[in-house]
Structure 1
Amino acid sequence: MRCEGRLGAMRRLHPFAKRRTVEDEKAVTQEFTAVLSTDSLVRDLPFRDTRTLIFIYGKPLIAHPDPVETAVRAAAENGPSSAFGVSTPFGGREACEGRGAALSGRHSAAGAAGAFATHSLNFHLPGGIASGGERDGALPFPGLSAPSARPSGHSGRTGDASPLQPVVISALANVRVVEVCVGEQHALFLSDAGEVFAYGQGIYGQLGLGYERQVVHLPQKVEGALSRFPVRQIACGDYHSVAVTREGAVFAWGAADCVGDGSGLCRFAPVRLSLGASPGDACRVIAARFQQTAAVSESGRLLVWGETFFADFHATPEVLCVFFRPVVQVAIGKHFGLVLTDDGQVYGWGDGTYGELTTAGPMAPKTLPEPLILKDSSGQSLPPVVEIATGTRHAILLTHDMRLWALGDNLAGQCGVPGHQTRLSVPKMVKLGELRSRASKIACGYRHSACITPNNQLYLWGHSSNHKLIFTAAAEGICEKASQPGVAIRSGLKSACCRARLIYSMLNMKITGAALGSETTVI
């Protein structure tokens, strides 16, 4: 009896005694589960509230380290003799032979030549070697000055840095970026002044900076024929780029089969394309993905060029069909395409095996765009669509009420719909954690998706390889798991996220845009 009394007293005095309230009875859903922050992975970022910062997560667009950094490291490790033969990141060697050759010359690479911008670097070398030619025995590289491993305005991963850290670019800090697109190895940024900046690798000319600028470690302005016209819209394929000016002219550059000028040559500078119509029929919108480009003119003509969905190749723009209502957006997937008109109607064509065209089961491909039947599982029609985005085999729709709907392949959770459904032929709503959350912008990668809320918060979901979902890098970097003996394969599909996940590490930033590639996320 005494024990029971003591236990009862202990219960009454227990500081963590549970008091049931109405709020406690609410179920705790997975959307509110805390996620590890990645703030510790981003260090010493020189930014202000009004500055533009660019974050590149996942697979880096530049696979090789900076050639200047490589030369400096080699000279520091091997002494002054290494200056007479500088190893480039592509395996070539340039014989300086004491002539003071600048490092900004051309670097040979297994059939491709490239040039790199000269950056001023200060460094300290052992063994009495001084920089800048102050003493005898100085490294014969004019222009190498400051103890910096990276060019000014670039931070993050280099050749041997941790893959958990993003590449952070602050070179466009004073530029207001209004649009961004990303290809397989390059990215384009569009400013509010209509200027286009290129970053990454351009061995096929997709940077548009000329033959001698095939790799840039900082965003560079695209000049040439494009410099005389302010640009309104940009788009990236895997290895080509397209831009539309405010007057409706179309410029393209990059891989030979994708440019659309019919020359059969890679274009290392922007070339103007002819849409085959009267001069007054300007381009309205464009889209590029993989090796294909689509454009819609002011008269409603849908033109395509490159390698199309049906394994056809068009060296120049060809008319696919004509729309009688104004088209506001066009999007391209791997084997299907979507067109959005001003009345909120979505048209689709191509292969809809995975339900991306609202067709259940295998059916004959649609050679021409047809209206999609957009109804939810209860049979009610969706509100008018205001924005569309496509991945490899899935699509995300943003309706007028700022809600998200997903279609197509959901094997990696790229539709943001949990459960056992791997193919969605009926649109499913994507929940954004809180019940009242809405979205204002959407983007799709090959197998992952993103959205930005009206209060500039970022959500990501889908395939997680290369830590392109951002929060998976924190889980690996903070909570290292012991690997089991034997052969282990790390699968992005196994750790895929099938629910829209808020990126907590960026809550203190104003997210204005996002572009998703195959294994890259650009914020």
Structure 2
Amino acid sequence: MEDTRTYVDPASLSRKVVSIAAGEAHTLALIGDGSVYSWGRGTFGRLGTGSELDRLFPAKVEFSFNSRSDETIKIVGVSAGSYHSLALSDDGSVWSWGHNTYGQLGVNGENSLVPSLVEGFHGINPTDGSITKSETQLKISSVKAGGNMSLAIDDLGSLWIWGNCPPQDTPNEGQEFSLLTTYTPIPVWHFHGQTVVKVACGSEHILALVSSVETHTGSDLVCYSWGNNNHGQLGLGDTEFRAVPEMIETFNTESSWVAYELACGAFHSSVLAYKKEEDDSLKSMCWTFGLGENGQLGQGTTKKALRPDMVRSLRVNIWLISVDCGLFHTSVVSSVGDVWSWGMENGLGLCPEASEGGDALTPRVISCNGQNGSNGSNFPDPIQVACGAAHTVLLAENGYKLWSWGRGRSGVLGNGQVNDFFDPNLVLWPPLHEDFEKNEPQTISEKSSKDVTEIEEELYIMEHYASILHGSIFGKPFDKANNIPDSLKNSGTFDVGKAWEDMLESCDYDTLVRLETFYRNMLVVVKDKIMKRKI
């Protein structure tokens, strides 16, 4: 019998990003081979690299069992809170690192600079809902981090929560809303007997997609919300907080709209939902509710919305595949690579002093600017968008390219810079040290024996390397049409001195200032290294 299995090149998997997550000022990337990379602000250890240093480029996060250091850990899910991070391994265990003042790491202890195992996912008694202690923990199938809280869904469909969480007890009359600190995971009792499929959380509120029946069949999802509701971010028609999850009427069992993706900002929420048209086609829309004073609802106003309303100015007849919320901005992506953002400072999430043209009250198109090799504005083969407090990251080209824009402080954009970028810029992926791990052939015969695919791959690596160097110096991607020196174009040889003189002559003032800053910073690093070697 013929073997029809498709071979997957391990080297390809080590370069393919399968999902991303963005925190307040850090970014996580999950790779196809089960590894995790992080970059951005390192305060509180949120990067998981063993220090609090900022990382301007993707850095690998190491996972290990203290008692089983030789065991390989494969990660299958990541999520980023404001200042902490979560990861899910293929054996159903949860790892956490970063800030832990509120117990969001699942332990009563200090901040963690490296991933540590989260314990406490024990069984739930089906008769009274109590936790049953056992040596074997439940396997987790999904993790989600919010402001200072963490959530997980186990393989039975139960939801667990820990950190700075909404209370689960019905409040007394006149009682004000306050979060409770929980250092170990506890079940959300309200959903006992149902299947929780997806969850999202903001600073103080939570949304969940839950099956309307005991056994989830795929199209029976309804949307619940609970927590703080001071701006209507629960979508329940008022501003009263909820300690117990309550169904949002717009996406209940009687609604023609079925929710399939959720996202929470600081005080606003977004839901992607679809409905079946008369011709059996599916119509997809983005719904928003909650705080709107910076245009983060995309509805053309700065008013709050107490119930979900459609973002009507998005292009029709599209399928939206991903949505995420920053503190005060929102981004969505369509299946054909359209990207829209709206909210604070032109939809970038930047603070007002950035002066990028004011808040975007309706969706604005985020253009690829031909960075995919074409003249189109769409991003090829998109997968996911992730929003931090004031930065946005897009995963496209089937996972082989990342773009970022917004606030660049602490290297959160992953492009080697600390400057703000108002347009998408390529993240420096894959890391350089991985590009050049392969040994080069030693003879001409060895070189010529390579097939075309290998040669094309090497050319891609060379182009990627040139793009990284160019982006680090000039703050923009390498343009093959305009950035190759004339001496190399015309003669095939490269006169470094002449090319340098020509470049300086053609630079405008801003570019010269950027060059000066780049080389000054580089010189400082070199001097620091020399001093350390002397010591």
Change in Cα spacing, 1:231 to 1:309, as seen in structure 2 (3 Å) is: farther
Q: Distance in 1 between matches of 2:211 and 2:169?
A: 21
**Aligned match for 2:408, one of 461, 464, 467:** 464
Q: Give 2:287's aligned amino acid.
A: Y
Q: Distance in 2 between matches of 1:385 and 1:398?
A: 6
Change in Cα spacing, 1:306 to 1:467, as seen in structure 2 (3 Å) is: same
Match of 1:187 in 2: 85
**Aligned match for 1:275, one of 190, 193, 198:** 190
Contact 2:34/2:76, CA 8 A, preserved across alignment: no
**Aligned match for 1:296, one of 205, 209, 216:** 209
Change in Cα spacing, 1:49 to 1:195, as seen in structure 2 (3 Å) is: closer
Q: How many residues align?
A: 340
Match of 1:390 in 2: 325
Q: Distance in 2 between matches of 1:403 and 1:470?
A: 22
**Shift in Å, 1:250:** 0.7
**Shift in Å, 1:328:** 1.6
Q: How far does the alpha carbon of each residue in 1:59-79 deviate from its partner, in whole angstroms, 9 at most, with x for none? A: 42339xxxxxxxxxxxxxxxx
**Aligned match for 2:345, one of 410, 414, 418:** 410
- The alignment-based identity, stated in percent, is 19
Secondary structure of the corresponding residue to residue 337 of structure 2:
coil
Which one has a bigger Cα radius of gyration? Answer: 1
Q: How far does the alpha carbon of each residue in 1:321-364 deviate from its partner, in whole angstroms, 9 at most, with x for none? A: 3433432211111232111124422222113333333322333x
Whether 1:496 aligns to 2:411 is: no
Match of 2:241 in 1: 313
**Aligned match for 1:347, one of 279, 287, 295:** 287
Q: Distance in 2 between matches of 1:392 and 1:382?
A: 29
Q: How far does the alpha carbon of each residue in 1:48-98 deviate from its partner, in whole angstroms, 9 at most, with x for none? A: 9946143232242339xxxxxxxxxxxxxxxxxxxxxxxxxxxxxxxxxxx
Q: Distance in 2 between matches of 1:154 and 1:390?
A: 23
Q: Distance in 2 between matches of 1:339 and 1:162?
A: 33
Whether 1:206 aligns to 2:104 is: yes
**Shift in Å, 1:463:** 1.1
**Aligned match for 1:400, one of 323, 329, 335:** 335
Gaps of 5+ in 2: 1-30, 65-70, 123-135, 172-178, 213-220, 232-238, 275-281, 436-535
Whether 1:258 aligns to 2:166 is: yes
**Aligned match for 1:370, one of 309, 325, 333:** 309
Q: Distance in 2 between matches of 1:366 and 1:467?
A: 35
Q: How far does the alpha carbon of each residue in 1:76-134 deviate from its partner, in whole angstroms, 9 at most, with x for none? A: xxxxxxxxxxxxxxxxxxxxxxxxxxxxxxxxxxxxxxxxxxxxxxxxxxxxxxxxxxx
**Shift in Å, 1:449:** 0.3
Change in Cα spacing, 1:421 to 1:462, as seen in structure 2 (3 Å) is: same
Secondary structure of the corresponding residue to residue 410 of structure 1:
helix
Match of 1:247 in 2: 156
**Shift in Å, 1:220:** 1.7
Contact 2:341/2:347, CA 8 A, preserved across alignment: no
Contact 1:157/1:166, CA 8 A, preserved across alignment: no
Q: How does 1:10-49 map to 2 (within 5 A)?
A: none
RMSD across aligned positions (CA): 3.3
Contact 1:309/1:334, CA 8 A, preserved across alignment: no
TM-score where L is the length of structure 2 = 0.57
Q: Distance in 1 between matches of 2:34 and 2:225?
A: 38
Per mean C-alpha deviation after superposition, the further-off stretch among 400-409 and 171-180 is 171-180
**Shift in Å, 1:475:** 4.6
Which gives a bigger RCO, structure 1 or 2 (Cα 8 Å, sep 6+)? 1
TM-score where L is the length of structure 1 = 0.58
Contact 1:349/1:357, CA 8 A, preserved across alignment: yes
Q: How far does the alpha carbon of each residue in 1:279-334 deviate from its partner, in whole angstroms, 9 at most, with x for none? A: 54322211012122111211244322222342643333233434334322111112
Q: Give 2:400's aligned amino acid.
A: N
Match of 2:74 in 1: 176
Change in Cα spacing, 1:348 to 1:51, as seen in structure 2 (3 Å) is: closer
**Aligned match for 1:286, one of 199, 202, 206:** 199
Structure with more helix by fraction:
2
Contact 2:341/2:364, CA 8 A, preserved across alignment: yes
Match of 1:230 in 2: 139
Whether 1:447 aligns to 2:447 is: no
Contact 2:106/2:162, CA 8 A, preserved across alignment: yes
